[in-house]
Structure 1
Amino acid sequence: MLDVRAISKRFGHVQAVRELSFQVAPGETYGLLGPNGAGKSTAISVIAGLLVPDDGDVHVHGERITTRSTAARGAIGLVPQEVAVYPDLTARENLRFFGRLYGLAGADLDARVDEVLEVIGLTERAGDRSSEFSGGMNRRLNIGIGLLHRPQLLILDEPTVGVDPQSRNAILDSVEQLSGAGMAVLYTTHYMEEAERLCDRIGIIDEGRLQAEGTRRELTTSIGERDTIRIEASGHLEAAALAIQGIDGVVEATSADGSIRVLAVDAGAVIAEAIAIVSGDGGNVSSVEIAQPDLEAVFLHLTGKALRD
């Protein structure tokens, strides 16, 4: 659905985006994860046809995107980082206004407005002015505007910045539903937990360049990170740890202070057999903890700095 081919963009002496390439398939949520100033919003502006790249190009559904390509840009729903709604209009009036700009009219417009209000959870507040809404509610309305014309690709640029936890969760729920319905979603964020929750694949971007991409598991595995299992138990733990060491997928197993620490490629694939070994040797398992490596560790490894630096 989206094919970004080696785009670059410079502003004076600042190279905002450097030969950025990636693809997004229908029904996939692709996350661009990086700190503020990494080049995410500039990349979004180029992809949406708002900025002309210095090099490279962008194709949506096979059509090349330019600042003049009306038809190709019509396949995109853009939700900018800054909220773009009219405060003196109600939620329904905002949606009807932007729907008419998209070319919707009559019964189709009315039905689509009702559908979008349901998706963004504002049906009961449809008659209230957006000036009366919280920041999170206005961000949900902002997403609704981007959905009105049934885009094939939805671009969300930092949609949860500055919102309360309840609204943030509602936004994330909505995004999950959209990708599940077959829409391609490009999602930029500097929140690691959002990328881990929503995204099928993640591109880590820093200083305008794509540093790595893949699923969370692929990214953490690529830097040698492993799952950690901690089994607290009584019994012959040294012998149990030695036996666990022989399980396929276990990198290391050691015992100390009434527990066994296991490093594994995939904790889910070995946990049952490890517990069975401890219990089968007369041990009594009191607790099990699993810790998986996160994207913060990947980002630190690739860039030498924390995600929020």
Structure 2
Amino acid sequence: MPIVESAMREAFVVIAILKRIPRNRWISTPELAASLEEAGIEISTRRLQRLLKNICEWDELCVECDMRSKPYGYKQRLPTLDLAATHLRPQESLLLRLSEEHLRYQLPAPLMRSLSPLFETARTTLKESGSTTRMNAWLKKVAFVSGAVPMLPPKILPRIFDAVSEGLYRESKLEIEYVNSIGQKTVGIVSPLGLVQQDQRLYLVCQFDGYDNIRHLALHRMLTAHVLDFPAVRPKDFTLDKYVAERHFNYSNGRKIHLTLEFTNMTTAKNMAETPFNKTQTLKQLPDGAWRLEADLDDTVMLDGWIAAWKDAAGIRKVEKTPVDDNLEAEETE
């Protein structure tokens, strides 16, 4: 009996530890010890370290250890082997099936493959459900229409994606062989800083050794990628959010503008009222029955394309772009 009681107490402590290990950040051994103590569970540092080591070695518990510095950090990772065993309700299965159809040509193949167990579970759930016929019929009544020209995603080698992902996770340098859009080959060492998806393409934001400028490289143009045992160098004050906000990925014309549009189509006015460009947008009807829209936004090729595409249908009669950052004269077309 004492052996059983001891095992039960050990299991209770393990459960208490697991409940305190977060998914979205690392937690250190002292932090865990303090949290357990607050709950009335006294445990020595040595015993806690031993239990954490055993927990990390047990793959089914999905806990990983960051040993880059002391004290070590611990974090839960999303289970990978449990996806296929996930129990889904019919409603969840329907949503996943719709997501699969929507993402089919939006994500690179390796990413889609990593989600395939979950999508397969959704399909199985729908087949085994008592109302299969009704649900499958419902799926055929819903469609996704992209606002952009549909394109197939480029082919990214799984080993390239795996190496880039590992380098980003470990914050380690990568040795790459890359071919640019005009066929020039580059071999070099880069510090990975982030991963950005733009439409169907996936880009590595990085910095080459010996250079100060930031580059973004298309993963489908990488021939080789190897993770090195050297820590990546991150530029001071660099954040991926800030880099993206500086319009490196939206085909920017390099400035922010105050846009003024005048158009005559009432349906366009209703659509723009329902789905505005952003919170700065204003829309009012003019005395002659036309509409005037004003908004501050990035001057991009995509904006120009949108205006050109809707010029006739919306009855656009005036387009005026005024730079927001300076006093340059407005550009006007009628």
Q: Please give the TM-score of this superposition, normalised by the length of structure 1.
A: 0.21
Task: From the CA coordinates, give the structure whose radius of gyration is larger.
Answer: 2
Bigger relative contact order (CA 8 A; separation at least 6): 1
Q: Please give the TM-score of this superposition, normalised by the length of structure 2.
A: 0.20
